[in-house]
Chain A
Amino acid sequence: MFRIHCPHCQEVRSEEEFSYAGEAHIPRPADPSSLSDAEWGEYLHTRTNPRGPHREMWVHTAGCRRYFNVLRDTVSYEILAVYRVGEMPPERGEA
């Protein structure tokens, strides 16, 4: 039961207000038609799935309904950073 800081609401709220939205930083290919089936399949389905820090998207479903990125350790479940869509994760530490 995580406590998540919503960077839009600037509040720490309970996990139940949020929804997980998958791995972050998987941009949709600019020109899908130029990709091979394998490349397109990779975009669709392949995921990093790390054991440790994971860059992922969450959405504040029962709050501001906005998406944001989270750097979370998938073993300790510690949230290492929260940052906005379009940004890259800060160096470790800021939450």
Chain B
Amino acid sequence: MLQREVEIINRLGLHARASARLTQVASQFKSGVWITRNGRRVNAKSIMGVMMLAAAKGSTVVIETEGPDEEEAMGAITGLFATCFGEDD
């Protein structure tokens, strides 16, 4: 299992569209993907789960991936955070 902490840097945080993008990417992998914030751990393939984290800019979340393609999944997910989910800022 891989685990990594990332900071949310985009202005709107993990808002609805970003959450949808995240779950779409997470769902492409066989591995399980989870996100934890403030002790709340959700399935990153569930849009409503990710929304419920209500993670704003500046907050940090822990990403976990576990499965046959956990490294690729971790790379893709952390890449999304680093590139602001493909948004302008």
Q: Do A and B bind each other?
A: no
